[in-house]
Structure 1
Amino acid sequence: MNGLGKLLVFHFLMCLGQTVQGFKIINGETAPENSMQYMVSVQTKYGKHICGGFLITEDFVITAAHCNDEGPYQILLGSHNLKGMNKKMLKIENTCKPSTYQNVGLGDDIMLIKLSEKVPPSNMIQTIPLPTSVINLYQNQICSVAGWGKTLTNRFGVNELRVVNVSIINRELCLEKWNEPFPLNVICAGGYGTTKGFCQGDSGGPLVCNSKAVGVVSFNRNANCNYPDVPNVYTDISRFLPWINKILKENTCQL
């Protein structure tokens, strides 16, 4: 997966230098064609990949709030290959973050993007469902994460979408392994006890369990993707359903 670009060290952990936004897929494989057609690339005006994201309606995408830091301008849909020919580019009409979001380390790292026009479902572009209520994932439950981020800590991102299976890690173990202040409303999966996880460039992509997008790639520690390390951290989408549903109902993405 492509790198996010600048690495953000979050304010309340600056002295520790440990929390860094998620970048690439580690020890994954190229995503099969005609799969994960909800995946999008959030890009700058000049076509640079910033973050991943995923289409949830014909004109709304979910990504991570920290992806707004690099000035997202457009969305690539309909292609696993960032350089491919069969892709669709749409401008971003607006973005909306929770009013409680301050930085990644403090949590609430989720953002809705309103597209400039609707994208009808096709054999190349599909939406992915969200949970309908607060979810309870279990230890070692197998889920997946995909993106265009790095495949090793010191490498660049990739043009072809990659995917890897990761196991859910319960919050108690996650807190124990991080052993420092930790945000609420997150899910831990991969990165610890395994050689698999996300890396820089994968931020904003979905954690998919039982064919639903349940999490948003948020951060790992110190830009280290040489797993096993500490658990990877995702924003728990189910905790933001009222906020998401309100925006979708009003069909506008404004605070």
Structure 2
Amino acid sequence: MLLSFSLLILCILPLSGAMDSGIVGGKEAIPHSRPYMVSFQSNKQHKCGGILIKEDYVLTSAHCLDGYEKKQRLEVVLGAHNIKKKEKSQQRIKVKECIKHPAYKEGQTNKSFDIMLLKLKNNANLTDFVKVIGLPKENEDIPANQKCSIAGWGMKKPGGCASDVLQEVTLKVQFNFECTHVWRDYFDRKRMICTASDGERGFCQGDSGGPLICNNEPLGMATYTYPGNCIKRKFPEVYIKIAYFFPWIKKVIQST
């Protein structure tokens, strides 16, 4: 089985029919209601989501750099609602260094270490539109059926373009045993969580690295969905469990 990752989405024609939608069945977020949200960009094109966890650090998915070439210009855009406009609230900062988890290997089917820190060249200026979000420190099981939300600038419909404005959708956490039953060895309950799929709502290409927010905490980070159909009813969507990686995140920030 091949995995489908929510990677870079550009509005280029013709788009492949295999492209899936991003935040599906959701709605436009209230502008700047998620001031921690980041658009991770390559050559000024949206690549993945992310979250600002320190003035000079962004957390996102490691697979967002799969196939990366050094000539590409990597930046983050903070304080954005519409990433196609030059809003006064926006801050564009170059990425100084990309630090993948050492256990992540491009091309491997095991994606349970799909996490990366972006060290920014300059500190973000914290404002009403740009804020740091705290990370969960206790690595606890997340109860099933808990309502959470995820946001991003991914595609809204199959074969379409990335969304200009931030979209959001509410989802429910799935039982770990259901995730394991369906995904088998692809799902690691120690380092991953998943949300129930109803065939109507979810994330997809362009939304990787976006946080799953539960009770105002970023508990998960969008990682992968079913190939060819991001909201396939029988396959829960999978997220990296952020709390598991808190010691690594802390160690990296302190050492750099």
TM-score bucket (shorter structure): 0.7 to 0.9
Match of 1:147 among 132, 146, 152: 152
TM-score by length of 1: 0.86
- What is the TM-score with the length of structure 2 in the denominator? 0.86
**What corresponds to 2:94 in structure 1?**
91
Question: Which residue identity is paired with 2:98?
Answer: T
How far residue 152 of structure 1 moved from its aligned partner, in angstroms, is 2.2
- Do structure 1's residue 137 and structure 2's residue 160 form an aligned pair? no
Within the candidate set 178, 182, 185, 2:187 is matched to 182
Match for 2:64 among 67, 70, 73? 67
What letter matches 1:39 in structure 2?
Answer: M
In the TM superposition, residue 70 of structure 1 has moved relative to its aligned partner by 4.8
Q: Is the Cα contact below 8 Å between 1:144 and 1:208 reproduced in 2?
A: yes
Give identity over the alignment, percent.
35
2:46 is the alignment partner of 1:49: yes
| RMSD between aligned residues | 1.7
> What per-residue deviation string (whole Å, max 9, x for no partner) do you get for residues 64-89 of structure 1?
00011253611111111111222211
The equivalent of 2:24 in structure 1 is 26
Distance 1:76 1:241 in 2: 24
Return the letter of the residue paired with 1:83.
K
Note the C-alpha offset of 1:171. Answer: 1.2
CA distance in 1, matches of 2:146, 2:102: 31
User: Residue 202 of structure 1: SS of its match in structure 2?
Assistant: coil
Whole-Å Cα distance in 1 between the matches of residues 127 and 237 of structure 2? 33
- Aligned counterpart, 1:109: 114
Structure 1, gaps ≥5 residues long: 1-15
Aligned to 1:102, the other structure's residue is in SS state coil
What stretches of structure 1 move > 6 A for 4+ residues in a row?
A: none
Q: Contact between 2:151 and 2:207, CA under 8 Å: does it hold in 1?
A: yes
Match of 1:122 in 2: 127
Change (3 A) 1:181 1:234: closer
Residue 173 of structure 2 aligns to a residue in which SS?
Answer: strand
Is residue 225–residue 231 contact of structure 2 (8 Å, CA) maintained in 1? no
Q: 2 CA distance for matches of 1:228 and 1:241? A: 31
1:52 maps to a residue whose letter is G
List per-residue Cα deviations over 1:39-66 (Å, max 9, x = no partner): 111111x211110111011110000000
Could you give the per-residue CA deviations for residues 136-194 of structure 1, whole angstroms, max 9, x where no partner exists? 2111100111101111233221110000011000210112223454345111014x235
- Is the CA contact 1:189–1:232 (under 8 Å) kept in the aligned structure 2? yes
Q: Is the 8 A contact 1:199 1:223 kept in 2?
A: no
Which runs of 5 or more structure 2 residues have no equivalent in the other structure? 8-21
Pick aligned residue for 1:223 from 205, 223, 228:
228
